[in-house]
Structures are given as structure tokens and as C-alpha cells.
Amino acid sequence: MPEVIVFAVSITAVVVGADWLGNSATHIARSFSLSRVLIGATIVSVATTLPEITIAVFSGAEHSPGIGLGTVLGSPIANIGLIFGILLFFSKAGFDKVYFSRTIQFFLIVLALVFVFSLNGSVSLLSSVVLIFFGLLYLAFQFVVGKQEAGLFEEVESRFERLKGFFTDRKNYHHLYYLVLGASLLVLGAHFLVNSAAILAASTGIPSIVIGIVVVAFGTSLPELFIAVNSIIKNRAGLGAGNLFGASVLDLSLALGLGGVFNGVTIRPSELYITVGVLAVLSSISLLYVFEKIPPKILGVLLIGTYFIALIWFGGFDR
């Protein structure tokens, strides 16, 4: 029972810390007139991926790699299956199909890399570095494209004036404070989360990777869920969709790569085939939105249904 309480408190600290950090970073980015597309695809994506990255690093360093692996693989499943499904079902606003299709293509590429790199049962140090490089390349690409697209519909303002104005306005120190506090909560929460999850896995006989995929990944995806719901309420679904797939790319590149660098990643063939297969199906269903052949609400139902079927499937992993 104490470990359950520690687990719940820790995952709350991770989510709240990431939320504070993400909100502060977003406010600072807006102070420099960065575009909504750029914020959604890079800054918000990185901020909402920080729980997975931190847990992957700590689980590797503390010799509980199953927790980190499950979280990193389970988070994209929750993002695309559950949360994007909800976004498609409830949102009335359309998405930028060019940007949307481009991000899914990035995700399918990194998914293929993870599959190839893991065929021998582990992700080597070299493969981990390649994944990290791909994640950084994705961020750089989105930054360049975001700047170009921002010039089409948003006024470009002087960055120097914005920088000076940011630091002369005392109200902005509030956001810097939450930036530091959020990062601290994130790190401490991840440390205790990994330890408590490993103890729960050992005491219940449930594989740690299953706890990571089903429980921890859902918890760390709560920021994406909040952003998606907010996007629906404010009729700005584009920001939510961009964040979901951008975060999923970073889960499989930066988070998995950093986990591999710190302590290696080992994955059994059954775990690899099921997770990659589920993610490939979810991505294919999502891509159908671009072709406008199937109503978004039906696609949303298909995504949500696939997500819950996958959870049942994961429950069948060997104990």
C-alpha cells in the first residue's frame, strides 16, 4: 500500500512538474512572437515529452529499464490511439493536412528505425545515438519550417525588443520561477516513480514493461490529454494534433535513445512486434484523415477502440 501511494504522488509530481515547465516555456516562447505551429510542434512537444524522457533516463540509470521502455512505447499509443481519437471525435475544427501528414511520416520513419534497431533484442549504443540525432533533426526541421510558415500568417516582430521587454517586465519572473520549480518536481517525481513502479511490478508479478505501457504511459500522457481537451474547447485542434504526433516522434527518438545511452534497451520479440504493429495500425488509421474518405468521428472511434484492444493485448504479456 505505501508503494501505491508513493507511485500516485510521484506520477502526479511528474505530470504537474511537466505542466508547469511547459506552460512557462510556452509563455516565454510567445514573448518572442514564435508561431503557434512552432510552439505546438517543438516547444510544447518537448515539454510534454519530458516525463517520458526523464523516466527513461532514470529507469536506465536505476536498473529498471522495463519501466522506461514501457513508458516510451506506451505513450505514443496513448497519444495517437486514445487522445487523437478523442480529438477527431469531438473536434469540429480541421487540421493543417500538409503539416499533419508530414509529422506522421516522420513518426513512421522513426518507428521503422526502432523496429530495425531492435530486431536483435536490444537497442545498441550506436542505435541510441542515431535515434537521438533523428529527434534533434526533427526539431530542427520543424523549427525551420515553422519559421517559414509563421511568416505567412503572423507578424514578424523584433526579437531583440521582445528579449529586452521580457526581462524588464517583473511579471515574467513568475514564469521563470515555475520553470525551475517544474523541472525540479519532474526530476524528483521521476526518481521515486521508477523505484515505486519497480517494487509494484515485483510484488504483483506483472512485468514492468506492462506497468510502463498501461499505467505510467497513460499518466505521463495526461498533459497531452489536457492540451487536446483545451484545443477542442477553444476550437484550435491544430495545436493539439501537432503536439500529439510531435511528442510521439520525440518519445521514440529522444526518450528511447537517451534511455539506451544510459543503460541500454532490451526488448523481447513479442513485445517489439505487438507495440510496433499497434503503432503502425494507429498511424495508418490517422493518415486516412488526410484523404477525407472516412468521417473523422468514425476514425476517432477506430483509434479509441484500437487503443483499448491493445491494452487487453498487452495484458497477455508473459508474467
Q: What domains are defined for the chain?
A: 2-314 (1.20.1420.30)
Q: Look at residue 229 in the predicted model and tell me its pLDDT.
A: 76
Residue in this structure with the C-alpha cell 517586465, named with its chain if needed: 169
Q: Give the lowest-confidence range in 91-95, 115-119, 288-292.
A: 91-95
Average pLDDT of the chain is 77
Q: Look at residue 159 in the predicted model and tell me its pLDDT.
A: 37
Residues 17-46, mean pLDDT to the nearest whole number: 64
Residues 223-229, mean pLDDT to the nearest whole number: 73
pLDDT tens-digit readout, 246-282: 889 999 999 999 888 877 788 888 888 889 999 999 9
**How far is C-alpha 171 from the geometric centre of its chain's CA atoms?**
30
pTM: 0.79
Residue in this structure with the C-alpha cell 516522434, named with its chain if needed: 249
Residues 161-168, mean pLDDT to the nearest whole number: 41
Q: Shortest CA distance to 230 belongs to which of 29, 14, 101, 44?
A: 44
Residues 134-147, mean pLDDT to the nearest whole number: 80
Phi-psi map region of 95: left, alpha, beta (phi>0 left; psi -120 to 50 alpha): beta
